[in-house]
Amino acid sequence: MPSASAIPLIIAGPSLRHCDQQHFTLWFICKQPLSSLRLALVGAEFDRELSSDEVHCIPLGEHAFQYLIRVSQDLLLPKDVALAYRLFDSEKGELFHQIDELHYPDEQACRFIIKPQIDKLMHGSCRNAHHHSSDALVAADTQLMQSSDITERPALLMMSGDQVYVDDIAGPMLYAIGQVIQLLGLHQEQFVDAPLADSSQISYQPAAMYRRHLHLLPKTQYKAKTAIKAWYINHPIFTSSLAENHLVSLNELMALYLLYWSPELWDLIEIPKEVAGLNKTLSQRWQKEWTELLAFKSGLKQVRRLMAHLPTYMIFDDHDITDDWNLTARWEQAAYGHAFSKRIIGNALIAYTIFQGLGNAPSRFDAEITPDLDAFLKDPTTSAQDALIDKLLSFERWHYSLQTSPKLLVLDTRTRRWRSESNLAKPSGLMDWEALMEFQAELVNQPNVIIISPAPIYGVKLIETVQRMATLCGGSLLVDAENWMAHPGTANTLLSIFQHRKTPEQFIILSGDVHYSFSYDVGIRFRHGGPQIYQITCSGFKNQFPEKLLPIFDKFNGWLYGHFSPLNFFTKRKRMSIRGRRPNGERSKRLVNQSGVGIVEIAVDGAPTKIGVLHADMSETEFLPPRR
């Protein structure tokens, strides 16, 4: 294990977060506390020492300190012109100039642009480090590098869920996490109602891999009810089919985020390709995951460069916390009624807050969350950790909006669920009545909007039907039966919002989650005029649907639920006319199963002029309008 002296000054970042004409937000991780900081915004006439209110530092461990630079003032950043940022420490000098491959060719600083009028954006979700597909964020960086005109860059990058996979960890990744915890001196914690007394007892040796679902993760007995009968089963609370290495402690989660975003940490650790203590099957799995992680590591410098030059926004979905997070009320009862499972979920939510949530809209956390977060990380006691988790579990401001044109609304579809009243084991609605009414209020007087919904609002109807059938058989958790149409109250309220005569004229809905890409044009049946809705789904950055299965779903969905099919009149969305766009003009295909980052170009009136996906191999798919 290398000594602390080998750790670079900047461990992860810099990453641009919430940036507009009034705000500049910059995130990075440093190995030690810094002295007074000076920020220069080239092209904005801003160059001064930062106050303590503008520098938010929280200690993650002995050799890891997160910094969030927050500068806010009227007319801070001019729009539609090239800008650059440089950060100086009074003792260390310029902080980012020695980071390898941080700048684009022939540039001496990180350049960016502020676009209040969104004419183009990138979006996507689902980045699984050890999946066999390539990382599309590398392709996104390559495209930015190839463009010499900064005004042609996207206005922002929107990550709509599953930025990390807490519940699907490769064996070699878990081994690396153990080394990072030790290298950075990340804090340990005590457990309650767990097989281990504290996190220091967790083994990261290969012989202990792929076994957490058997001996570490909690289980509970609860009733599973079907249309025929009910029975009791000893069901795992953490339902992912790949939960063998599910993370549990906060230091593990911190290490995971750093390994997802830090090229340098990978150079400081060693992961053997062949290990003892595993059977033949698991040894083969280890070697395959080891190979995929090497490919993932090779693209991290480009991913960091992309996020250093493009304002980036995020929202959680299930895998950022755990699979099937809050999917049913029964699951919530089991998960939050067990002290150890509540701690596991709470730890993931703390990590999301630190590494993702704070950068989206920092001011939303100032009153309720940030004081408790700072107090806990400065003195990480068990009582402070539990109190912070309680605060986060009751927090209702994870959603946010950007005052752009079109206005961009980011939905929280995980923590404000509409629980089933007929059967607690049925899927909960993705948003409850109060949340949907707040959403509707945000739409008032908006001519056009962009909505970020982690799960597609208008999905593939055949797959939703399969999920409904599984729910009737008591298998909602088995098939991830969560979609906007799964709960009658949520579905009908949402569709009524879209049909209201005071809604915007143009809706663009950006989604991910499903591990394939598609685009629909949606209108209201039997009405002249009315809003035009564009459902655009891009998933994943580094993930795919099972290759042999998706073409079957695609074909049968076209046969059963095509635009002119009478079966559409038996669905909840029967009042909507839905036309699938054609990927690269193909006649019958509608779904694309290849990792990629979505690129949407938008006209001034809020309508998309181009809907495409840039794939990891630099090929492109354009979704062409349906034939009329």
Indicate if the pLDDT at residue 450 is higher than 90: yes
Structure tokens at 178: 């153990």
As for how many domains the chain has, the answer is 1
Indicate if the pLDDT at residue 502 is higher than 60: yes
> Strand, helix or coil at 124?
strand
- Residue 495: per-residue pLDDT: 82
Neighbours of 94 (CB within 10 A): 13
C-alpha triplet 358, 8, 99: angle, nearest 5°: 80
| Enclosing domain of residue 206 | 171-302
* Residue 3 maps to a domain: no
Cis-peptide, bond into residue 475, ω within 30° of zero: no
Indicate if the pLDDT at residue 570 is higher than 70: no
* Residue 175 maps to a domain: yes
β-pair partners for 524: 576
Mean pLDDT across the stretch 117-122? 98
* Residue 316 maps to a domain: no
- Residue 526: per-residue pLDDT: 66
Average pLDDT over the chain, rounded to an integer: 90
Maximum separation of any 2 CA atoms in the chain, in Å: 71
* Residue 487 maps to a domain: no
What residue type is assigned to position 173 of the chain? Answer: M
* Residue 214 maps to a domain: yes
- Residue 514: per-residue pLDDT: 93
* Residue 281 maps to a domain: yes
Q: Using H for helix, E for strand and C for coil, what is the string for 305-332?
A: HHHHHCCEEECCCHHHCCCCCCCEHHHH
pTM for this entry = 0.94
Indicate if the pLDDT at residue 232 is higher than 70: no
Contact between 130 and 170 under an 8 Å Cβ cutoff? The reply is yes
Contact between 554 and 589 under an 8 Å Cβ cutoff? The reply is yes
Indicate if the pLDDT at residue 596 is higher than 70: yes
* Residue 219 maps to a domain: yes
* Residue 245 maps to a domain: yes
- Residue 427: per-residue pLDDT: 83
pLDDT tens-digit map of 428-446: 888 999 999 999 999 988 9
